[in-house]
Amino acid sequence: MNDKKASNGGATTTPLYETTGPDGKKVTFTPSDLVAGGGHIKSESGKSFKPKKYKGSSLADIITKGDFGKTKK
């Protein structure tokens, strides 16, 4: 028998969720963001809030949005 440990060899994916912040803008977050913030996440404006309603999101959804890759002026 080999004493080598089996390696996964594959990449893992992080689930993404999307909610609306107190300023009305959509905020994308991960479970790690919730843990780091003690159950709260921050909106673009810097306000901390606890998400009540959220839905699953994907990386493809983020990329296909019209503003992906554009720089802010």
Range of the domain at 38: 16-52
34 in any annotated domain = yes
Is the pLDDT at 2 greater than 70? The verdict is no
CB 27 within 8 A of CB 19: yes
pLDDT tens figures, 4-41: 565 556 667 778 999 998 888 888 899 999 999 999 99
67 in any annotated domain = no
33 in any annotated domain = yes
37 in any annotated domain = yes
4 in any annotated domain = no
Quick one: tokens of 21?
């912040």
Q: Rounded to an integer, what distance in angstroms lies between the CA atom of residue 20 and that of residue 54? A: 8
pLDDT tens figures, 33-69: 999 999 999 988 888 999 989 888 877 777 777 666 6
User: DSSP code of 68?
Assistant: T
**Residue 58, Cβ neighbours under 10 Å: how many?**
12
73 in any annotated domain = no
Domain count, the chain: 1
59 in any annotated domain = no
Q: What is the pLDDT of residue 35?
A: 93
